[in-house]
Amino acid sequence: MWTEKKDKLTQTFKFNDFQEAFGFMTRVAFLAEGMKHHPNWSNVYNEVTIELTTHDEGNKVTQKDRDLAKAIDKLGA
């Protein structure tokens, strides 16, 4: 579930292993590139943490972030 605080939408996704986590990151990368809106993220073994904020709007959460979050959820983590 996405949480919004400190001007960011954030969610941590957990997978069975690193390979699944990396595959998810690859799918998100293609999705984000297509939407021209890129996440801040980190990966440690089987966890991927994504932070969404709109840099062009002063690092605030905007509809672009909400749209990308919904699209990421549809990928099925």
Domain ranges across the chain: 3-74
In CATH terms, the superfamily for domain 3-74 is: Transcriptional coactivator/pterin dehydratase (3.30.1360.20)
Give this prediction's pTM. 0.91
Q: pLDDT tens digits, the chain, 77 residues: what are they?
A: 999 999 999 999 999 999 999 999 999 999 999 999 999 999 999 999 999 999 888 899 999 999 999 999 999 76
Question: Are the C-beta atoms of residues 54 and 65 closer than 8 Å to each other?
Answer: yes
| Helix H or strand E segment including 50 | strand 47-52
pLDDT of residue 31: 95
Question: What are the tokens at 27?
Answer: 């799918």
CA distances from 30 to 9, 15, 45 (A): 19, 19, 21
Helix (H/G/I), strand (E/B), else coil: 75:
coil
At position 29, the amino acid (one-letter code) is A
